[in-house]
Amino acid sequence: MDRSEKLLHGIDKSMRVLEIGPLFRPICSRAEGWNVYSIDHASEDELRQKYRNHVDVDVSRIERVDFVWRGGPMVEAVPKVYHGAFDACIASHVIEHIPDPIAFLRSLAALLKPGAVVALAVPDKRWCFDFFRPLSTTAGWLEANRLGLTKHSRTTRFEYETSVINSDGQVAWAPGPLGTPSFSGCPIWQSYTVFRPQSDLENEDYVDCHAWCFTPSSFVLIIEELHALGALDFRIKHTFPTVGHEFFVILEQSQVRETDVARMQKRRMRLMMATARELREQLEMLPVHLDLD
């Protein structure tokens, strides 16, 4: 299966699909007959202006934006006539950017029909610029939701800006030995300004970054734990392993919770062990001989 086939697993042209942030590379193209609606942080004209000097973006192909989401709960950016109207949602490299993923997924639950699916493409932190960053946790998602975050925290901003790397000049790469690493973000002295008393992040414009880092098993663990806790109505339907620097997850709505404590604990332990093995695989890719003196 190629990338599109994985994201379209269980999705067909008879469905009404919501695609988040397709920019100029939609998975579901209107030109190909899909009944698709798109949501983004800006209108298509604003996106063309924003990306006009980006050599990797073909601004002439930017998709029509049906719903503009500038802040607050995503569901509020969509007219009520479309609430509960979508059969599926596709979000490629979106979830890791969201300050409050629980609120984001709850908005999706309100926009989707019962039984609808969500297809996610998610970067694997082992093979992209998040290489040295720690894994995100269920507790982190719960705290972001408790705080109602709509912007990234000072901690997230500092960690992201000072830890992201390139490997041989590449921001993402396939599984294999790490090349020569180099920092691609800000020097620590520059990023430290977010912690100084005069810093006023609450009144600043939104600054984008990767807020969350995952391996395939660590992501599944978060979803499974939040579903068991009743914090989310989504659970894992299907996963596809990492290819290049991304893995794929299909979520389905379900309000049937795991209530067997022993079974849930065994499931959690299996996923934690799998996550540890994934991190061991990452460590084995570190260069053996690298002169950084």
Q: Are 153 and 207 in contact (CB under 8 A)?
A: no
Quick: pLDDT tens for 163-187: 999 999 999 999 988 999 999 999 9
**Mean per-residue pLDDT, 128-140:** 97
pLDDT tier for residue 204 given thresholds of 50, 70 and 90? confident
Domains and CATH numbers, the chain: 3-283 (3.40.50.150)
| Region at 141 (left for phi over 0; alpha for psi -120 to 50; beta for the rest) | alpha
Phi/psi of residue 168, each to 5°?
55, 35
Given a cut of 70, whether residue 55 has pLDDT beyond it is yes
Are the beta carbons of 210 and 98 closer than 8 angstroms? Answer: no
pTM for this prediction: 0.95
